Chain A
Amino acid sequence: MVEITLNGTPRSVESSTSISTLVEELAMPERRLAVELNGIVVRKADWPETILKADDRIEIVHFVGGG
């Protein structure tokens, strides 16, 4: 297992988990998501090849109501 921080919360994922796999596991209905890995945006095309490492900080965002 690999310990990461996802949206500010500690989380364990299987080793060799990619961003794509993580997003699938979260089963979110919204397709319009963006992912940041250690402060840098990861393009959607790069999600399958981006494997999570120990201590990675992941942010996954979507959109909510706002002004």
Chain B
Amino acid sequence: MEDTFVLAGTTFSSRLIIGTGKYRSNDEMKAAHTASGAEMVTVAVNRVPLDRSSESFLDHLDPKMRILPNTAGCYDADHAIRTARLAREALETDWLKLEVIGDPVTLFPDNEQTLEAAKVLVKEGFIVLPYFTDDLIMAKKLLDAGCAAVMPLAAPIGSGMGVQNPANLRIMREQLPDATIIVDAGVGVPSDAAIAMELGADAILMNTAIAESPDPAAMARAMKLGVEAGRLAYRAGRMPKRLYASASSPIQGAIRP
């Protein structure tokens, strides 16, 4: 059965969204993007260098990729709103990964400022995809504000620790059955991606786990398979957990000593 991922009216066949940061070379990045099967990649907004050393980073991306600009590096709503408006002007896209950081050590989101920025940007016609702490109440507030999806973290950005609070993700899925939930940040290996998808995430956004692998293209393919395995398992439905064994082979009819 076909299982496409619809986000803000756009249909994707891949449930993996990947970043463009931290790659050792543009060629490695391109190979990883191809291997991942992703159809959307994130980019960051940055001041142009004034020493004529700039190059067109976007030219290194597959033209078929949808580009999702982020507001990385913003520490308050006003800064994120300004960055979003610049991104929209330059890329002619309303899509935005909204990210307002609260602290440079953990890179945990400032949920209050994120919500404030989301309210303004939704009114301005942005398709807002907010990165936030994996909290159900915050998710509800962001959705009420008109965000197209919610993007809870699994673990700190770039930590590779995997889903630290599976109960929160499961509760969010159960309580918000119609919401689009994209796990953003913290995935380290394909089993982390599979776990997030098994818990009911609609998609996963990751960067470091692929970019920092010694073989990004191979890891990108592994992540693709992890996401697909988790999604298939979620749709199939898991068996109940039991404390004691339940024999798989018939006990009746076994020969006796």
Are B21 and A65 in contact, CB atoms less than 8 angstroms apart?
A: yes
Chain A residues lying within 8 Å of B59, measured Cβ to Cβ, are 30
State the CA gap A59–B87 with chains docked (Å).
12
Are A62 and B90 in contact, CB atoms less than 8 angstroms apart?
A: yes
Are A66 and B72 in contact, CB atoms less than 8 angstroms apart?
A: yes
Q: Say yes or no: is B152 at the interface (Cβ < 8 Å to chain A).
A: no
Q: Choose among B29, B42, B54, B205 the residue that contacts A62 (Cβ–Cβ < 8 A).
A: B54
Q: Dominant SS at the B interface?
A: mixed
State the CA gap A39–B20 with chains docked (Å).
27
Q: Say yes or no: is A56 at the interface (Cβ < 8 Å to chain B).
A: no
- Report A17-44 CB contacts with B as 1/0, cut-off 8 Å: 0000000001111111111100101011
Question: In the complex, which residue of chain A has the Cβ closest to the Cβ of B208?
Answer: A67
Q: Say yes or no: is B254 at the interface (Cβ < 8 Å to chain A).
A: no
Interface size on B, residues (CB 8 A): 40
**Interfacial residues of chain B within 1-51, with CB under 8 A of chain A in the complex:** 19-23, 29, 42-48, 50
State the CA gap A27–B52 with chains docked (Å).
7
Question: In the complex, which residue of chain A has the Cβ closest to the Cβ of B43?
Answer: A63
Chain B residues lying within 8 Å of A65, measured Cβ to Cβ, are 19-23, 29, 43-44, 57
Are B45 and A63 in contact, CB atoms less than 8 angstroms apart?
A: yes
Quick one: which of A6, A11, A27, A34 has the most chain B CB within 10 A? A34
Chain A residues lying within 8 Å of B206, measured Cβ to Cβ, are 67
Chain B residues lying within 8 Å of A54, measured Cβ to Cβ, are none
Q: Say yes or no: is B226 at the interface (Cβ < 8 Å to chain A).
A: no
Q: Choose among A8, A26, A27, A63 the residue that contacts B90 (Cβ–Cβ < 8 A).
A: A63
Are B90 and A33 in contact, CB atoms less than 8 angstroms apart?
A: yes
B123 to chain A, nearest CB (A): 16
State the CA gap A7–B50 with chains docked (Å).
8
